[in-house]
Amino acid sequence: MTVTDSVGPHVVLLATGGTISSRESEAGGAAVASDTGEQVFASMGVPAAHPVRVVDVFRKGSYLLTIDDMIEISARIRQVLADPQVLGVVVTHGTDTMEETAFLVDLTHDDPRPVVFTGAQQAADTESPDGPANLSRAIAVAGSPQARGMGVLLAFAGSIFPATGVRKSHTTRLDAFANPDFGSAGSVSDSGEVTIRAARPGLPPLPLPPPGEEAGSPRVDLIAAYPGADSTLLLASLHAGAAGIVLQGTGTGNANRVLCREVANATANGVVVVTSTRVEAGAVVPRYGDGGGEDLRAAGAIPSGLLRPSQSLVLLSLLLRLGTPADRIAETFVRRGVAAV
């Protein structure tokens, strides 16, 4: 059932594009986001677990999104939740950067009603698209009383994950997401039966900046450490005016002597550097010298804890946009990068 007005309790579907809305284009045959939210909803082919009101935000592949686009999605969520008849929100989104947008929304979400992200790995015009089933299950989660107070969730291929720590773990498999450090939040069956585990302790939400200020937003870049890496890319980022850098380290968050020296120069000049890791699971632990993680910490870099580079970049971008001083940024990464006990 689709509703066009708030005539009773219902779930809002915010459509933003992604593979779930994609079809083969006329020029070249590559898949592009094209279906409206109503078309995505109609593709389910089965009754929704709750009445649904559809709102189109935009139609983009998520590989095209900016931080400002993610702030726009967050703002639209707040707008629809102003209606007390809304049970929860489903956001259809591309899988490439779903982990970033879901995390940004979670950082600023200040409402017990759930926000559930979902999408697809197979385009809408493929022989067996997975989007309709994912959407059906996500609607069931968004309207479930069990999901209240759980913050922002990601529902995909029957699994439910908390936004913090979630990541795309396979490029093509239908069960494309995992959350190695923070774990699963539950599951949802094909028939819409929702099972949610106990919520992890919530943290106070961060303010949501107004959308539409991308031109004046502080630049944050992601720089990788790798065998033989020098400071060329890091210096280019600083030359371009980066206010923040996420260093994707190796192992427990390590680099080398050259990168460490330039990190020290950058932090001395007011640039905020956060150290994450390319490793799939486990915390960033400052432990090694000779350009390793302990030397990076001494050079002023902030360890990201359990937050991987993608979500570290989102958190750092938000904090810098809010004008947060470096010591408060460090405290925030400590709080946000630790798993629930």
What CATH number did the domain enclosing 231 receive? 3.40.50.40
The pLDDT of residue 324: 97
The pLDDT of residue 276: 98
In a domain, 222, yes or no: yes
Nearest to 247, CA basis, from 296, 318, 182:
296
Indicate if 228 and 170 belong to the same structural domain: no
In a domain, 126, yes or no: yes
**Residues 88, 80: Cα–Cα separation, whole Å:** 9
Q: What is the pTM of this model?
A: 0.95
In a domain, 141, yes or no: yes
C-alpha distances in Å from residue 262, one per residue of 39, 191, 255, 303, 318: 51, 55, 11, 17, 24
Indicate if 253 and 298 belong to the same structural domain: yes
Which mean pLDDT values do the consecutive 10-residue runs of the chain (341 residues) have? 70 98 82 95 96 97 96 97 98 98 98 98 96 98 96 97 97 97 96 89 89 75 98 98 98 98 98 98 97 98 98 98 97 89 44
Indicate if 173 and 45 belong to the same structural domain: yes
The pLDDT of residue 25: 80
**Residues 182, 161: Cα–Cα separation, whole Å:** 9
- CB neighbours of 45 closer than 8 A, spacing ≥ 6? 132
In a domain, 270, yes or no: yes
Indicate if 281 and 184 belong to the same structural domain: no
**Cα torsion through 223, 226, 228, 233, rounded to 10:** -10
Indicate if 38 and 131 belong to the same structural domain: yes
Sheet holding 186-188, edge to edge: 52-60, 10-17, 86-92, 115-118, 152-156, 159-162, 186-188, 194-196
What range does the domain containing 267 cover?
218-336
Point out which residues pair with 311 in neighbouring strands: none
The pLDDT of residue 341: 44
Indicate if 300 and 250 belong to the same structural domain: yes
Indicate if 177 and 227 belong to the same structural domain: no
Nearest to 334, CA basis, from 284, 296, 295, 291:
284
Indicate if 266 and 188 belong to the same structural domain: no
| Helices 98-108 & 309-321 angle (0-180, nearest 10) | 40
Place of tokens 């070249």: 28
Output Rg (C-alpha) for the chain, integer angstroms.
20
In a domain, 204, yes or no: no
Concerning whether 164 is annotated as a catalytic residue, the answer is no
Beta strand 242-249 pairing with 272-277: parallel
The pLDDT of residue 210: 86
Indicate if 96 and 141 belong to the same structural domain: yes
Indicate if 32 and 119 belong to the same structural domain: yes
Q: Output the 3-class SS for the chain.
A: CECCCCCCCEEEEEEEECHHHEEECCCCCCEEECCCHHHHHHCCCCCCCCCEEEEEEEEECHHHCCHHHHHHHHHHHHHHHCCCCEEEEEEECCCCCHHHHHHHHHHHCCCCCCEEEECCCCCCCCCCCCHHHHHHHHHHHHCCHHHCCCCEEEEECCEEEECCCCEECCCCCCCCEECCCCCCCEEECCCCCEEECCCCCCCCCCCCCCCCCHHHCCEEEEEECCCCCCCHHHHHHHHCCEEEEEEEEECCCECCHHHHHHHHHHHHCCCEEEEEECCCCCCCCCCCCCCCHHHHHHCCCEECCCCCHHHHHHHHHHHHHCCCCHHHHHHHHHHHCCCCC
In a domain, 202, yes or no: no
Q: What is the CATH number of the domain that holds 103?
A: 3.40.50.1170
| Final residue before a domain boundary, out of 143, 163, 196 | 196
In a domain, 210, yes or no: no
- Please identify which of the residues 4, 16, 19, 101 carries the catalytic annotation: 19
Work out how many domains the chain is built from and give that number: 2
Indicate if 134 and 34 belong to the same structural domain: yes
**Residues 324, 204: Cα–Cα separation, whole Å:** 15
In a domain, 64, yes or no: yes
Indicate if 242 and 141 belong to the same structural domain: no
